[in-house]
Structure 1
């Protein structure tokens, strides 16, 4: 299969890319940082296309389509992994409205725009699937703007699943709990042995894409053994 991964240059996105590469899928990684994308491509043995872009830009999906046509890359699967986390107030009353708008743009609106633009291509794929990486922060009473954005993303994705059933496009939503990445600063609550490994999510995605065409995993939650840490 040919798979697009947003936010594919590091963290969970890169681990998804690793596992899909091992499984023999062709990859197109999208990210903001060209240097990180180049390093990711090298770590995958050079077996991936890379596209540098800001996911929140409305122009990005159209530019990506042009790039795919130039490289004869007909996507089967879209993995929406890119997300922003820049709210550390742990409050849903103190941040200004513009801060909420900013994180909703990054974590919800941009994904909406990607699906709206890329869906015609995905529908032409041999195994049309859209996988969305959510968060357990969107499943509970989380006092953060990030939690609000992930709850909104969940509602959107579940609606997308219902709307695309007749079209034969499978939609999957995965909620990871705390996951160790290179960006986390280790402390008592975020030590590597207290968190999921990025490869856990990558292995789940690879397994989901190995199912029969008539099988769709609709929603999946995976947490560390001792539960959430944030």
Structure 2
């Protein structure tokens, strides 16, 4: 089995790669930073001794379609066709809408939304020909409700919901499983960089729930892929938002608006 993980040099993607290596899969990791990719390989080879020789690394920016297409072709040349794609590459840069530059805003759309679409496009035609394959799109709990100071991130991650649902409808008849998951705050290097930039208003909304360990999030993602679940939520609050959000959000947003005015 060949698993390709974008954004796999750290965080959730790295832990997903580790779990699949432990299960005996061949794993290709794609990320922008070559140094971090090499560090990820060393980390994985230390923790999964039997993984030596089953780890492929390719440096590419998912936001650039030609780069990710070439990277996935290289991965498939090494380990064979992609059986599972985990589209985990993503960035977050909190900031008030009218204070954040258009370039920073667009960068999150380009990586989180278009980068995911580019990655899926690069494996989809092959899966369609083989009439098999699994695609897991990593969205975020931020896709389920608007968060103060996260207009770009929420927009990019919520757009993935519509993409995933539409693609599910198209892919089903070709034996391709398309799924999406909504991780909570997760203890990753990116989270450590993001947290100091989070607005006080966002902290009131998000601060009550403890961040999840990356390996626990990865375990749930891998389990969801194995079980063929189309949507995966984490924890009571996000699960409630995911299934009955239209009923809950008016009250939540009213409360949040009241708290913001204080």
Contact persistence 2:113–2:160 (CA under 8 A): yes
- Give me the whole-angstrom Cα distance separating, in 2, the residues matched to 1:167 and 1:116: 15
What is residue 203 of structure 1 aligned with on the other side? 219
What is residue 59 of structure 2 aligned with on the other side? 52
What is residue 73 of structure 1 aligned with on the other side? 80
What is residue 145 of structure 2 aligned with on the other side? 140
Shift in Å, 1:34: 1.1
- Give me the whole-angstrom Cα distance separating, in 1, the residues matched to 2:131 and 2:220: 20
Contact persistence 2:63–2:115 (CA under 8 A): yes
> Any unmatched runs of 5+ in structure 1?
none
Q: Name the Cα RMSD after superposition.
A: 2.7
- Whether 2:233 is the aligned partner of 1:217: answer no
- Give me the whole-angstrom Cα distance separating, in 2, the residues matched to 1:82 and 1:226: 21
Contact persistence 2:183–2:233 (CA under 8 A): yes
What is residue 171 of structure 1 aligned with on the other side? 178
Moved more, 35-44 or 166-175: 35-44
What is residue 31 of structure 1 aligned with on the other side? 31
Structure of higher CA gyration radius: 2
- Give me the whole-angstrom Cα distance separating, in 1, the residues matched to 2:220 and 2:130: 21
Shift in Å, 1:161: 1.2
TM-score scaled by structure 1?
A: 0.84
**SS of residue matched to 1:29:** strand
What is residue 120 of structure 2 aligned with on the other side? 115
What is residue 168 of structure 2 aligned with on the other side? 161
Contact persistence 2:132–2:175 (CA under 8 A): no
Shift in Å, 1:110: 1.7
Shift in Å, 1:130: 0.3
Q: How many residues are paired up?
A: 220
Shift in Å, 1:166: 1.0
What is residue 131 of structure 1 aligned with on the other side? 136
Shift in Å, 1:223: 3.6
Contact persistence 1:15–1:202 (CA under 8 A): yes
In terms of fraction of residues, the more helix-rich structure is 2
